[in-house]
């Protein structure tokens, strides 16, 4: 393999995965009827921090409905934040369970404050 091809491959690999230890920051934003999480579906390395920041004046209750944290809930206070470090790879799906903040149907979050992130090695 020549140097140019090796350089291109190294660049592509670097772009495809987050840096070890790099935190993912997820914002809760919007207002009643239009709450959301941003970014949608980010990737993080195993053991890196996932941090949520609430930019609204409303409290949100994040409940994980699929993935390694299924059944766990965390309160995201108004204008507050919290963070966790996932220890296992996989996709983590969560939603805000405050009435009116998301719609849940057929085992899936279908609208509103639905979120997910992927954890890779």
Q: Which domains does the chain have, with CATH numbers?
A: 20-120 (2.60.40.420)
The alpha-helical segments, DSSP class H, found in the chain are 3-16
CA pair distance 75, 103, nearest whole angstrom:
18
Among positive and negative, which fits the CA dihedral 22, 91, 52, 35? Answer: positive
Residues forming beta bridges with residue 49, ordered by sequence position? none
The predicted pLDDT at position 5 comes to 39
The predicted pLDDT at position 21 comes to 59
Global model pTM greater than 0.85: no
Q: Structure tokens of 71?
A: 């059944």
The predicted pLDDT at position 40 comes to 83
The ranges of the chain with pLDDT < 50 are 1-3, 5-19
Measured from the Cβ of residue 14, the count of other Cβ atoms closer than 10 Å reads: 10
């Amino acid at each position: 393999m020549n140097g140019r091809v090796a350089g291109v491959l190294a660049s592509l690999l670097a772009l495809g995965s987050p840096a070890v230890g790099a935190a993912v920051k997820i914002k809760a934003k919007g207002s009643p009827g239009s709450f959301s999480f941003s970014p949608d579906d980010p990737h993080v390395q195993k053991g890196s921090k996932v941090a949520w920041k609430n930019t609204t004046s409303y409290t949100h209750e994040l409940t994980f409905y699929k993935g390694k944290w299924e059944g766990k809930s965390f309160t995201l206070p108004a204008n507050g934040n919290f963070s966790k470090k996932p220890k296992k790879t996989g996709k983590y799906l969560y939603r805000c369970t405050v009435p009116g903040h998301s719609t849940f149907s057929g085992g899936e979050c279908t609208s509103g404050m639905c979120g997910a992130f992927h954890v890779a090695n």
